[in-house]
Chains A and B, each alone.
Chain A
């Protein structure tokens, strides 16, 4: 039923008549659109066992950011791969066409796949599944900001649900620098107008960081502040993830 002319016709999305005034982020008294404090994260909702067909899966919802991650494996590696006496991790992050407010835009996050891989690699005990591969696939249903940190946390929950051995749960949080203010767990608008960002993925119980990403301009005191904010938030997030796993385990025992 696509365009009768043969090739798909060019379409555009009708934009609202009154553009919202770009509220000055350069003022000291920036108020977050959803009313949160600068150092307040969105409420986190996790549920494991979202996908029946997968070995393990998890669904995460942080405000408007909704992610599903499925884990398959450990299963046979592709025949073309060389023999490996430790396991392999294969990741993929994809977006639905309706994840961003305007269809088709915002789905050019091809680097997220590699970043997810690097974030999880350090935490998984690859020696526990030699010669095989664990596949971690993420689908972003709705992108409301801070997508990659939520994908990473959700992926680690899905890995736990699948029974893959890990050193610790991995939690991830990002902080945005908006002129002089540091805001944690930014939403889409805040990310678009940020001057710099910091994302930390860590294993809270071991106090070890698996991935650290800085973009933009940061002064040393800001770095210290930002890192401390993230690490504290990661610790709290890990507690929420743990309680979600415990609930799921006790539900299945009943």
Chain B
């Protein structure tokens, strides 16, 4: 727990632990009065964030993201589908968020966590409404073949701010995604082009070489907790369970608002509180953009 005062004897240390369990709200409020949180962070500071690209070698794009202890692993696998009649020159992205039983004591096998489908929908809505991906780039042969990108986000460790970490890992995996080189063979099926194919190609290469997806504006998000007059940034699972009012704001790199999500909660948010949250999110977007760019440049060097 890291209490610096070593002069306290064991009985009063036990009291602190017990106090934390028995009166969690009072415990937190004592800290908030000093403008600090139990893990030592100031109210407006997010936890350490790391992004590692290419975590899953067999996938076309992948990323492992850690925000504090919350860990998300995303992998993108590309498969071929026939495009729909309404949009014959567009591909598709299927985003799915999974919370396997390993990630949290509240998840049971066979019973998906309550949060999982909510975050899954939130993710797909945010990414599609941010307009960062042009589905036409996923087209192969108009009307006949297009890419279906299966984007699976797995939560490996759930410690609060799940949506932020999930969005960051999805976006990081999309920036790492490499569309494989394929050709259409005589049966009309798409096959992979292997690089050391010395034979004369009877097939027409549909996609000559591996290429990356161009991402237009990238959405980043920040979750805040509202409690009385305080705004706590990037909550842990403990904080989320005690102070239930959560606000999630997603902005894109050009500063435009992509989504604002405040699902009820006991605290009502005035305009000023929302504006403060947006300002905090703006700062965080700069940080996250820097982290993602660094991760991308590290990948290219390798």
A interface with B by C-beta (< 8 Å): 1-5, 8-18, 50-54, 57, 64, 68-70, 72, 75, 92, 94, 96-98, 101, 103, 135, 137-139, 141-142
Assess the B69–A53 pair: CB atoms within 8 A: yes
4 closest A-B pairs by beta carbon, nearest first, are: A11-B79, A92-B109, A70-B102, A52-B69
Least CB separation from A140: chain B residue:
B100
Assess the A17–B191 pair: CB atoms within 8 A: yes
Interface check B92, CB cutoff 8 A: yes
Which residues on the A side are within 8 Å of B150 (C-beta)? 97, 103
Assess the B58–A14 pair: CB atoms within 8 A: no
Assess the A14–B190 pair: CB atoms within 8 A: yes
- B110-133 contact mask (Cβ, 8 Å, vs A): 1 or 0: 100000000000001001100000
Interface check B193, CB cutoff 8 A: yes
Assess the A5–B84 pair: CB atoms within 8 A: yes
Least CB separation from A4: chain B residue:
B84
Which residues on the B side are within 8 Å of A64 (C-beta)? 57
Task: Pick from B4-12, B178-186, B252-260, B288-296 the stretch touching chain A.
Answer: B178-186
Whole-angstrom CA separation of A3 from B85 in the bound complex: 11
Pick the contact of B79 from A3, A12, A57 — CB < 8 Å?
A: A12
Q: Could you pull out 30 A-B pairs where Cβ atoms are within 8 angstroms?
A: A1-B124, A1-B127, A2-B92, A2-B94, A3-B92, A4-B84, A9-B82, A9-B148, A14-B79, A14-B180, A14-B190, A14-B191, A16-B191, A17-B185, A17-B192, A51-B157, A53-B103, A53-B237, A64-B57, A69-B102, A70-B101, A72-B105, A94-B100, A94-B101, A96-B152, A97-B152, A137-B100, A138-B102, A141-B56, A142-B56
Interface check B75, CB cutoff 8 A: yes
Most A-side CB within 10 Å, residue of B93, B148, B197: B148
A41 to chain B, nearest CB (A): 21
Assess the B105–A75 pair: CB atoms within 8 A: yes
Whole-angstrom CA separation of A203 from B104 in the bound complex: 29
Given A1-B93, A11-B81, A12-B80, do A96 and B183 touch, yes or no (CB 8 Å)? no
Which residues on the A side are within 8 Å of B180 (C-beta)? 14
Interface check B158, CB cutoff 8 A: yes
Pick the contact of B102 from A3, A5, A139 — CB < 8 Å?
A: A139
CB proximity to A under 8 Å, residues B113-165: 124, 127-128, 148, 150, 152, 154, 156-159
Whole-angstrom CA separation of A13 from B190 in the bound complex: 9
B: number of interface residues (CB 8 Å) = 56
Whole-angstrom CA separation of A5 from B84 in the bound complex: 7
Which residues on the A side are within 8 Å of B190 (C-beta)? 14
Assess the A98–B75 pair: CB atoms within 8 A: yes
B122 to chain A, nearest CB (A): 12
Assess the A4–B193 pair: CB atoms within 8 A: no
Assess the B103–A51 pair: CB atoms within 8 A: yes
Most B-side CB within 10 Å, residue of A1, A96, A138: A1
Whole-angstrom CA separation of A51 from B82 in the bound complex: 40
Least CB separation from B90: chain A residue:
A4
Least CB separation from B110: chain A residue:
A92
A42 to chain B, nearest CB (A): 16
A68 to chain B, nearest CB (A): 6
Interface check B86, CB cutoff 8 A: yes
Given A94-B100, A103-B77, do A18 and B197 touch, yes or no (CB 8 Å)? yes
A74 to chain B, nearest CB (A): 12
Which residues on the A side are within 8 Å of B128 (C-beta)? 1
Least CB separation from A93: chain B residue:
B109
Whole-angstrom CA separation of A98 from B154 in the bound complex: 10
Which residues on the B side are within 8 Å of A8 (C-beta)? 94
Given A69-B102, A98-B152, A139-B102, do A14 and B80 touch, yes or no (CB 8 Å)? yes
Whole-angstrom CA separation of A137 from B108 in the bound complex: 9
Which residues on the B side are within 8 Å of A138 (C-beta)? 102
